[in-house]
C-alpha cells in the first residue's frame, strides 16, 4: 500500500514537469531575441544583427510546419514554429524601419515590381518581374517586401508539399531540409562577425540563450524520441553557438583592425 501511495502523488508532478518542458519548447526559442530586439530599439542601430538569421528561421519553420502534415510530431514543436515565424517577422519589421531611417538617401529596393508612385524608382528602368538581384536580396526598403517574399515561399513550398505528400521519401527529405536549414541559424551571424572582425552590436545575451536553449532542445528531442532529424539539427546548432561565443572571446581579448570597405550609397552590409 505504501508503495502504491508513494507513486500516486508523483503523477501530477511528472505531468507538471511535462507541461513545463512543453511550454519551454514553445516559448523558449523566442526569449533569446528579446535582448537583441530591445538593444536595436534603444540604440536605433541594427548593423550588428544579421537579418539573414530571420531568413534562416523563417524558411526552417515554414518547412517544419509542412513536414508536420506528412509526419505528425509533437504539438509543442508545431506551435514553436508558428510563434517563431511571428517573432522573426517582428524582428524584420524593426530592423527594416531602423535601417531605412539611417539610410535616407539610399535608393529604394523592393522584392516586387517597382511602384509607379515611387519617384526615385521612376527614373530607373521599370521591372516587370520580382527583384531577385542577389546584391539586394533580403535587403529591401519596406517590411511589406519581406512579407511578400515569405508568402511566395509558402505558396511554392506548400504547393510542392501538396503534390508529393503521399511520398515518404519527399516527406523525409522535407524534414531534413527543415532541420538542416535551422541548423544553419547561427552561420549568418558567425560570418558577419568574422567579416566585421568584431561582435559589436550583437547581443551576447542572445547567443548565450541560443546555446542554453539549443542544448535543452537537443536533450528534449532525444528523450522524447522526436524524429532523428531534430536531434541532428540541435547538435549542429550547439556547435555553431559555441563558435560564435568563441568569436566573442577572441575579438574582445585580441581586438583586430576592422576590414575597410569602400563606401557606396547603394552598397549593402554583408548579411
Residue extents of the structural domains in the chain: 12-107+140-253
pLDDT at 95 (0 to 100): 93
> How many residues are given for the chain?
271
- Residue 223's pLDDT is 81
Gap between the Cα atoms of 209 and 222, Å rounded? 20
H runs (alpha helix) in the chain: 2-7, 10-28, 33-43, 52-70, 75-102, 119-122, 143-164, 168-183, 187-196, 204-223, 228-253
pLDDT attached to residue 137: 85
Q: Which residue has the cell 572571446?
A: 249
Cα separation, 187 vs 56, in Å, equals: 9
Average pLDDT per block of 10 residues along the chain, 271 residues long: 50 71 76 90 88 92 93 85 95 92 70 51 44 72 92 96 92 88 85 87 86 83 76 85 91 67 38 41
Amino acid at each position: 500500500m505504501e508503495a502504491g501511495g508513494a507513486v500516486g502523488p508523483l503523477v501530477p508532478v511528472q505531468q507538471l514537469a511535462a507541461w513545463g518542458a512543453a511550454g519551454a519548447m514553445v516559448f523558449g526559442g523566442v526569449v533569446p531575441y528579446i535582448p537583441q530586439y530591445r538593444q536595436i530599439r534603444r540604440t536605433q542601430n541594427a548593423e550588428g544583427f544579421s537579418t539573414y538569421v530571420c531568413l534562416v528561421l523563417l524558411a526552417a519553420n515554414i518547412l517544419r510546419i509542412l513536414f508536420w502534415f506528412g509526419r505528425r510530431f509533437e504539438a509543442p514543436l508545431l506551435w514553436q514554429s508558428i510563434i517563431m515565424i511571428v517573432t522573426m517577422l517582428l524582428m524584420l519589421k524593426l530592423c527594416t524601419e531602423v535601417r531605412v531611417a539611417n539610410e535616407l538617401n539610399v535608393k529604394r529596393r523592393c522584392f516586387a515590381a517597382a511602384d509607379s508612385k515611387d519617384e526615385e524608382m521612376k527614373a530607373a528602368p521599370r521591372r516587370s518581374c520580382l527583384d531577385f538581384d542577389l546584391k539586394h536580396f533580403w535587403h529591401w526598403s519596406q517590411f511589406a517586401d519581406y512579407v511578400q517574399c515569405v508568402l511566395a515561399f509558402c505558396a511554392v513550398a506548400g504547393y510542392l508539399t501538396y503534390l508529393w505528400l503521399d511520398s515518404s521519401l519527399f516527406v523525409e527529405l522535407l524534414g531534413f531540409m527543415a532541420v538542416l536549414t535551422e541548423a544553419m541559424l547561427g552561420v549568418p551571424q558567425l560570418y558577419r562577425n568574422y567579416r566585421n572582425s568584431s561582435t559589436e552590436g550583437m547581443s551576447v545575451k542572445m547567443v548565450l540563450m541560443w546555446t542554453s536553449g539549443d542544448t535543452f532542445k537537443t536533450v528534449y528531442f532525444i528523450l522524447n524520441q522526436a524524429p532523428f532529424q531534430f536531434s541532428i539539427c540541435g547538435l549542429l546548432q550547439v556547435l555553431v553557438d559555441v563558435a560564435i561565443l568563441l568569436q566573442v572571446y577572441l575579438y574582445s581579448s585580441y581586438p583586430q583592425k576592422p576590414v575597410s570597405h569602400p563606401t557606396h550609397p547603394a552598397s549593402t552590409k554583408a548579411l
